Structure 1
Amino acid sequence: MQIKETTNEGLKRAYALTIPASEIEAAVTAEIKKIAPQVRMPGFRPGKVPANLVRKMHGEALHAQVFNDTIKDAVDSLMRDKELRPAMQPQVELGEGYEEGKDAELSVSLEILPEVEAPDTSGIKLERLTVAVSDDEVEESLKTLAGQQKSWKDAAKTKKAADGDQLIIDFVGKLDGVEFEGGTAENIPLVIGSGQFIPGFEEQLVGAKTGDAKTISVTFPADYQAENLAGKEATFDVTVQKVQVESETKIDEDFAKSLGLESLEQLRGLLKGQVEQELNGLTRTAMKRQLLDQLAAGHDFAVPPTMVDAEFEQIWQQLQQEAAQEADPKAAMKEIESEKDDYRQIAERRVRLGLLLSEIGQANGVQVTQQEMSMLVQQAAQQYRPEDRERFMELVQTNEMAAAQLRAPLYEDKVVDFLFDKAEITDREVTREELQAAIEAEADSSAKPAAKKKAPVKKPAAKKAPAKKADAEAEAKPAAKKAPAKKAPAKKPAAKAEAKPAAAKAPAKKAPAKKPAAKKAPAKK
């Protein structure tokens, strides 16, 4: 194979490769010889089919397979021989007019990672802002939890059902006057306005009282899961056993026991632990931002534009999704459009920090063990439907970029912990409000270009995630494809900004079903 360098500018490299026809032919001949013993053909004993007949039968397909493998091997050989570290997947193009039997002319273009000297990790000074958990905060969490646990009490028999009320009903479903399988149930709870049953069902029960018997007519959705009911008109004979109204949950020993705990004191202890965990997360975020700001301030080297583009695209997609959810989407889009250059600078900062953290980790032997990686894969697989988990795990095992993206957050945390251990840390106790204000100030400072006097975005904290997220991907390989949205944790600090690089595209997750527990016919698909 002949190699000729055609571009060497900054981080850009390009090469012209020539793979001789004889080399490709030799590889095809070797492949034919390899598969010949497995070929079966009438008139020949197993394994005795002549090579020329194997070539005649399978030559075209074999040439295509071998040719692709030869190109891959040639590019891999180029990376090794020239000691190239590609920032992203190299672009490979086959010259026009290639035909079987001719030399293959390839052009390979790529951006390489810059040579980054591992920064001096001595002399790092950080302030750890801590918050003590108060009894008032625990009680507030207890009240919030109680508010989330709906309880119901029977209403007066004269009470007419309204939106938000819960009915206990029996029903019998019929098609053309004949009961259908799965259309009958007793003592089913239904909250009017919840959208739990098929369209039109709940609305016709508004005004019903305890003891009422009603016949209602509905049409099943065209995409209903039971094919025999999809798009069909049906009637339901409904008996209202009870009308119930929501009642305030009393915080007492019985409430704690209803949650599977032994006492109210045990519940308070668990809630205190959750609040402590949340505050510890905020403390880590603030200290991590200080660390990254110090690293960013001391380094300003060129980064591969393709990596910046990929990171910016990830930020931009998130911003567009948030803008679409605003009360005035057009105005929100106009605002972020005016700050597009600011977000590109944020993307560049993240990539640069990613390269720095990666270099620090490699220089100091920081690694993600095979056991840790296996646990990551298992945890990530649980977010998908059972039938899709195997596909996801296969993707991670066969796709180097997918594996790197899954590994990146843990690798970054391990490098950050290494730097925390090396740093000189002083503690200062503050209030929650002071801690959150410090995080906001650090976020605005790191996200704001030096020449500007204002932060890129003027939005509530929860809407500023891209601007605030100064954390970088330690593997320094942003995703080429946007991952499906993941389910958010039940309790997450509003201002938390730990970086979570997106995984490569994986099987779609199962959407939560809106069905009553009994899974009866009137439930939505």
Structure 2
Amino acid sequence: MSKASSHSHSQRGHAHAAHSHDEHHHPGLSVAVEKKAGKAEVTLTLAADELERARAQEFVVLSRRVALKGFRPGKTPRAMLEKHYGEEVERKVVEHFLQHAYQKAVQEHELRPAAYPRIPLAENLPKKGEPWSITFEILLRPEFELGQVDGLEVEGRTVAVDDDEVERALLEIRRANSRAEPAGDEPLAADGMALATLDFFRAGSRESLLTREGIRVAPRSAPPGIDPTLFEGALTGARAGEERTLDMQFPDNLPIEEARGEKGQVRFTLKEVLRIVPPPDSELFAAFGASDDASLRTQLRARMLSAKQEAEEQRIENELLEGLLAAHPLELPQQLVDDQVAAHEEELLEQLAKQGLSEEEAKARAEGERERARQSAVKALRAVYLIEEIARKKELAVTQEDISAEIGAIAERNGTPPAEVAKYYGEQGLLRQLGLELLERKVRRYLRASAAVRTPA
């Protein structure tokens, strides 16, 4: 059941309650179901003696596992147990019957719930010696007729990697894996780097407004507010100890708020010049399993082609799924959408509070995000129900082997034992989400494999 409310019915304790009394034989229990638009209204009615029988059985089980001072296990009087554990027992009994009613309603009336129901209990708990009745709603998945999903037409795109792309990629790999070394008395190269002290001056002032030390600067990476061409020309060839002053429009994130957006100057005092040293060929050969320049380029091209092919497959899958979503405008339960938006807003408020925003600022930001969050929730829910319906019709399912394999892959990527990953996902309640992601992956692949992909001319 949903845990959105502190008074909601929780699933905790079900396993224990199931062993405490017979789930399948409750002569004093009745469950009535009335289907309405987008939901089912479930009324649970319990006879007083049925409730008392369940309480008694729960206390018997409890007496065997707890021992109060002065009593041996199994010998503690019920009155003493009620004094110490009465609320816990009542909660377990109520949860057992609510879960039983939920399952009975779903199975006997073939309901397809959209979410676990929230059941407020604070004002409607059973009273000793009296029958008990409670009504709750189950939001239902939207009912729709699944249209065509096989043989959908989609335009394919040619996937290729030319020589220029390989050379550009190789250049970027060398750049990304280069390291900076002190250049001594050498001037700063256009592709080099330097450590500098920056002093900011307002127009017409000789007094530094702000000083920043130990800042890395590179001639080809001009700071915002400085002309890139002038910046590269000024810094290239400069040596340690030299200064360069340039006009600048102060950025909006300048720590001195009153100077933001003003035109002024910034002085760069170079403290150390660094040269950029690319990695040796042997290092790149080892990384790509190559033996020479030719095989390095061959391996790089193969990886680039594989990445492009994967991106093309994802594009096709996205286009197919977007088309199916457009063709199936599902009507969603409003309460379900509202719950999703509320959960997003609560999470956003926590994040903004951690960032230092005041409560008023955080609420204003969250309110501004609400409509976007609603649209996102609607699209995500529609996608989930559509994907699950396709999986149901095409008999696509996620197996335990699929879950184990994915956990193993996650563990390998993070250098963590699979058992630890499985434990974390279980404790954080992430296994269902993982299952949904794997199911979506299977449905996407099915759609692409069965699609009529038109080959470009």
TM over 0.5: yes
Superposition map of 1:108-507 within 5 A: 108-156=136-184, 164-165=194-195, 192-193=214-215, 245-249=274-278, 253-254=281-282, 256-257=284-285, 259=287, 261=289, 262-309=291-338, 340=371, 344=374, 347-380=377-410, 390=420, 393-394=422-423, 396-397=425-426, 402-428=430-456
What's the C-alpha RMSD, in Å, of the aligned pairs? 4.6
Counterpart residue identity of residue 431, structure 2: A
Distance 1:410 1:97, change over 3 A: closer
Q: Which residue of 1 aligns with 2:88?
A: 61
The offset of 1:4, in angstroms, is 4.8
Q: Distance in 2 between matches of 1:128 and 1:319?
A: 39
Secondary structure (helix, strand or coil) at the match of 1:367 reads coil
Rg (Cα) greater in structure: 2
Q: Which residue of 2 aligns with 1:473?
A: none
Secondary structure (helix, strand or coil) at the match of 1:416 reads helix
Q: Flag the structure with higher helix content.
A: 2
Query: Which segments of 5 or more consecutive residues in structure 1 lack a partner in the other structure?
Result: 167-190, 195-206, 210-242, 430-525
8 Å contact from structure 2 (residues 114, 140) kept in 1: yes
Distance 1:26 1:339, change over 3 A: closer
Q: Deviations over 1:14-50 (max 9, x none)?
A: 3343333322221121122224344445665554455
Secondary structure (helix, strand or coil) at the match of 1:92 reads coil
Q: Which residue of 2 aligns with 1:76?
A: 103
Alignment TM-score, normalising by the size of structure 2: 0.61
Bigger mean CA offset, 123-132 vs 56-65: 56-65
The offset of 1:2, in angstroms, is 3.9
Bigger mean CA offset, 77-86 vs 381-390: 381-390
8 Å contact from structure 2 (residues 288, 300) kept in 1: no
Q: Which residue of 2 aligns with 1:25?
A: 52
Q: Distance in 1 between matches of 2:284 and 2:83?
A: 77
Q: Which residue of 1 aligns with 2:249?
A: none
Q: Which residue of 2 aligns with 1:184?
A: none
8 Å contact from structure 1 (residues 256, 264) kept in 2: no
Q: Distance in 2 between matches of 1:317 and 1:164?
A: 45
Counterpart residue identity of residue 37, structure 2: G
Distance 1:305 1:264, change over 3 A: farther
Q: Which residue of 2 aligns with 1:226?
A: none
Counterpart residue identity of residue 46, structure 2: I
8 Å contact from structure 1 (residues 13, 111) kept in 2: yes
Alignment TM-score, normalising by the size of structure 1: 0.54
Distance 1:123 1:267, change over 3 A: closer
8 Å contact from structure 2 (residues 193, 276) kept in 1: no
The offset of 1:280, in angstroms, is 1.3
8 Å contact from structure 1 (residues 86, 111) kept in 2: yes
The offset of 1:146, in angstroms, is 0.9
Secondary structure (helix, strand or coil) at the match of 1:428 reads coil
The offset of 1:124, in angstroms, is 1.9
Q: Distance in 1 between matches of 2:156 and 2:150?
A: 18
The offset of 1:144, in angstroms, is 0.7
Secondary structure (helix, strand or coil) at the match of 2:123 reads coil
The offset of 1:111, in angstroms, is 1.4
The offset of 1:10, in angstroms, is 1.8
The offset of 1:148, in angstroms, is 1.0
Secondary structure (helix, strand or coil) at the match of 1:94 reads coil
Q: Distance in 2 between matches of 1:288 and 1:105?
A: 49
Secondary structure (helix, strand or coil) at the match of 2:157 reads strand
Q: Deviations over 1:204-245 (max 9, x none)?
A: xxx999xxxxxxxxxxxxxxxxxxxxxxxxxxxxxxxxx772
8 Å contact from structure 1 (residues 84, 112) kept in 2: yes
